[in-house]
Amino acid sequence: MNAEILCVGTELLLGDIVNTNAAYLSRELAALGIGCYYQSVVGDNAQRLRESVSLAFSRADMVITTGGLGPTYDDITKEVVAEYFGLEMELHQPSLDHIHDIFTKIGRPCTKNNEKQAYLPKGATVLDNERGTAPGIAIEAGGKVAVMLPGPPSEMKAMFEGKVKPFLQAKTDRVLRSHTIHLFGVGESSVESQLHDAMVERTNPTIAPYAKMGEVQLRVTASAKDEAEAETLIQPVIDEITALFPDNVYGVDVENLQTALARRLFEKEMTIAIAESCTGGMIAARLTEIPGISKSLAGGVVSYSDESKMKLLGVSEDTLSAHGAVSPETALEMAKGVKEKLGVQVGLSVTGIAGPDGGTPEKPVGLCYIACVGSWGEEVSEMRLSRGMRDEREFIRNYTCLNAMNMALKLI
Amino acid sequence: MNAEILCVGTELLLGDIVNTNAAYLSRELAALGIGCYYQSVVGDNAQRLRESVSLAFSRADMVITTGGLGPTYDDITKEVVAEYFGLEMELHQPSLDHIHDIFTKIGRPCTKNNEKQAYLPKGATVLDNERGTAPGIAIEAGGKVAVMLPGPPSEMKAMFEGKVKPFLQAKTDRVLRSHTIHLFGVGESSVESQLHDAMVERTNPTIAPYAKMGEVQLRVTASAKDEAEAETLIQPVIDEITALFPDNVYGVDVENLQTALARRLFEKEMTIAIAESCTGGMIAARLTEIPGISKSLAGGVVSYSDESKMKLLGVSEDTLSAHGAVSPETALEMAKGVKEKLGVQVGLSVTGIAGPDGGTPEKPVGLCYIACVGSWGEEVSEMRLSRGMRDEREFIRNYTCLNAMNMALKLI
């Protein structure tokens, strides 16, 4: 089976948003062993969408669309695809109830145009939307399959994972199983060059690398007659890669560094508090993405000014005037301060210069210090994160955040 | 003139990279007033690329490609496009010299396959690559224009900015100008139903709505003979929409709520500090995205535990035991506490239940309180943000964050 991805939305054609949906779907299709030779983007225009749908079905067995399922007059994907299959639209009462439920819950009136989302092609498979109002739709007829997904990435991904994957897996007698190995502190090209032969030659399991938010992920995918066989094929590859990158692999199927760190804290039943300067709360914000983190995270301090470092963390005025706010000494006092103030076992801190202003020849933009104090004693690490490019404030903040979480993960 | 974007690369079809090139080019074309009705992605396959090039030229006057200009055997874009125009390839000596120069500078041998990059379609316009080895190419013939750009985004952008923009601006006598109106606290469907007629009937300026991260943006775009005329066309539409949604419009061309709030703080020369419970540092993290925010933001406290609320913010134990951590009383004491501790003019706080656990019938998941204290006195607001769906922790946290920034923006 091969598939084609058709993303619908004028906002994509205007460049208002980046098409992360196409990348996500391509990756997922590749992992399922479904070939994909084309991605297309078309606007909210009936004639052009009609032509794009016909073209896609002339080239592929399956067309996956994103976008155009919403309530507004320019949301026309399902109408156009239904027309291609010669299907009429009809009211799907459970979807309408779901839409009304959502509006009742958020206490806003459900305007009439929202009901449009509950009109679906007759006989289609409805893919419930757990995160929004517009249901997804699957149609199978004449050897062709259409899968229509909502445009907002969070809705789209949840629907693909929960509804489309099982639907596609049911079409094959093989089982596909993937595990993702997470690496931090090594570049994608370096991983790729060390694994090049293994990646090119291996067909089962396959190894697919990709870089994401400052880390590298390697997805190992096996095709087998059942799950047990797939796992038996995958495990040696995971062991081999872990042995190749012992300092970089921080977990398997752990999603991201904050999840890995939270799990480690839960396992060890340890408590932590965070003091942040240049990251301005990003570490705490990411850790608090994890449900239940309140049993490990007491809290944190965003000490953006010198005064806040002194008042909230007890950093001494002498340290600040002798070494400056961006120094190993200040980082250490911040970590110790937040640990003591909140009576926790681990104190983690960062201080640095995110730019674009505030750099000096001795302390340039991108200079950051991370400190982590706990039963192992006191650790401080210096990083120089600037690549000398413009607009790298968010890059520096993100890498500081990742490095800090990685440091804590290694020490705890 | 209309254009089509054709991105070439198997790595895009595998989802290994996100197609930021297409978004960038679309945005730039829109700004130049060049319509773009399709984006396509095709792999490094000669036959499929050939068909895609023909298709694109059957629909558009201009085709802009990215990728496939490099040294390896699967880089075939210029060969396929040259074939479409019936042009032969020939050596372009300045490009060859440039390639040799680069290899000399980085001290690596220039392997034979790198010279392939200097063979270009006969008679084509060469677009120098200041950041890499592969030159770009423009071909004009038979009323069609092909522009071929390298795949790496930094090379592509520099070439578009420096070489392609002047080339294209010389081809048009119209100017396109857009402004984006930002609305918060109103759904996309509600905005659309109130503006439906205006959006459908108006052709100049056009009004395009889209939902982004919990807010609605309306892009108003005018085509005119010069910038002044375009502005004259746009202003009445901005005024009309602002009058229709006086409580929701929070700015024009302000990017997002954190940017609007930061600008307001700068304008009024006011200082702020943030106390966060369920958002765990997100508000501070977003505000600190803004360069220079340190002159307004003193810092913040992530008071995830009762203890941290008492120790870092001075919330009284009585308040916590009488009303609970998620209560208007606690929110108010948090805002007052952080304001006093950090000696600022505005204290902003949030406390709530992000879920999935921790809800009760009286205090369900999604219940959040925001408080903002300052020269206007004390304001507290209650929100119920659950839509009764699974995995809505991030939704609740995001909306709490947005509502808090919006409240501060209105009060300051």
Q: Chain A within 8 Å of B395 (Cβ-Cβ)? A: yes
What is the structure's pLDDT at A388? 64
Query: Best-predicted range by mean pLDDT among A181-190, B27-36, B149-158, B200-209?
Result: B149-158
Q: Chain B within 8 Å of A393 (Cβ-Cβ)? A: yes
Q: What angle do CA A244, A245, A249 make, to 5 degrees?
A: 135
Q: Residue window 59-88, chain A: list those with CB within 8 Å of chain B.
A: 70-73
Closest C-alpha among A143, A144, A141 to residue A122: A141
Q: Model confidence at B108, in pLDDT bands (50, 70, 90)?
A: confident
What is the structure's pLDDT at B324? 96
| Residue B407 predicted with pLDDT over 90 | yes
Q: Which is it for the CA torsion B85, B90, B91, B94, positive or negative? A: negative
DSSP element (H, E) containing A264: helix A257-268
pTM listed for this prediction = 0.81
What is the structure's pLDDT at A390? 63
Span of A28-37, A144-153, B247-256 with lowest mean pLDDT? A28-37
What is the structure's pLDDT at A382? 97
**Peptide bond before B356: cis, by omega within 30 degrees of 0?**
yes
- Residues, chain A, total? 412
CA distance B123 to chain A (A): 31
CA–CA distance, B148 with B69 (Å, rounded to integer): 8
Specify the higher pLDDT residue, B243 or A194.
B243
Over pLDDT 90: what percentage of chain A?
75
Q: What angle do CA A291, B337, A343 make, to 5 degrees?
A: 55
Q: Which is it for the CA torsion A96, B385, B382, B293, positive or negative? A: negative
Q: Model confidence at B221, in pLDDT bands (50, 70, 90)?
A: confident
| Residue A190 predicted with pLDDT over 80 | no
Alpha helices in A65-177 (DSSP H): 77-85, 93-106, 153-159, 165-169
Q: Chain A within 8 Å of B202 (Cβ-Cβ)? A: no
Closest C-alpha among A298, A277, A28, A51 to residue A163: A28
| Residue B34 predicted with pLDDT over 90 | no
Q: Model confidence at B202, in pLDDT bands (50, 70, 90)?
A: confident
What is the structure's pLDDT at B366? 95
Average pLDDT taken over every residue of chain A: 93
Q: Residue window 1-20, chain A: list those with CB within 8 Å of chain B.
A: 10-20
pLDDT in tens, B289-322: 999 999 999 999 999 999 999 999 999 999 999 9
For range B100-106, the mean pLDDT: 82
Contacts of A405 (CB under 8 A, 6+ apart): A257, A258, A260, A261, A283, A286, A287
Over pLDDT 70: what percentage of chain A?
98
CB distance A10–B208 less than 8 Å? yes
| Residue A169 predicted with pLDDT over 70 | yes
Contacts within 8 Å (CB) and 24+ apart, B402-405: B402/B184, B402/B213, B402/B214, B402/B215, B402/B257, B403/B185, B403/B368, B403/B370, B404/B279, B404/B283, B404/B348, B404/B349, B404/B350, B404/B370, B404/B372, B405/B257, B405/B258, B405/B260, B405/B261, B405/B283, B405/B286, B405/B287
Q: Chain A within 8 Å of B216 (Cβ-Cβ)? A: no
CA–CA distance, B381 with B277 (Å, rounded to integer): 15
CA–CA distance, B355 with A294 (Å, rounded to integer): 11
For residues B347 and B271, the answer to whether their CB atoms sit within 8 Å is: no
What is the structure's pLDDT at A326? 97
Contacts of B105 (CB under 8 A, 6+ apart): none
Among A29, A106, A307, beta carbon nearest to B342: A307
Average pLDDT taken over every residue of chain B: 92
What is the structure's pLDDT at A237? 95
CA–CA distance, B137 with B242 (Å, rounded to integer): 45
Q: Which residues in chain A are contacts of B15 at CB distance < 8 A?
A: 22-30, 210
What is the structure's pLDDT at B131? 80
pLDDT in tens, A3-42: 999 999 988 998 888 999 999 999 899 888 888 999 999 9
pLDDT in tens, A383-400: 998 866 667 898 899 999
Contacts of B236 (CB under 8 A, 6+ apart): none
CB distance B397–A300 less than 8 Å? no
What is the structure's pLDDT at A368? 97
CA–CA distance, A306 with B42 (Å, rounded to integer): 53
- Report how far apart the first and last C-alpha atoms of chain B are (Å, whole number): 46
Over pLDDT 70: what percentage of chain B?
100
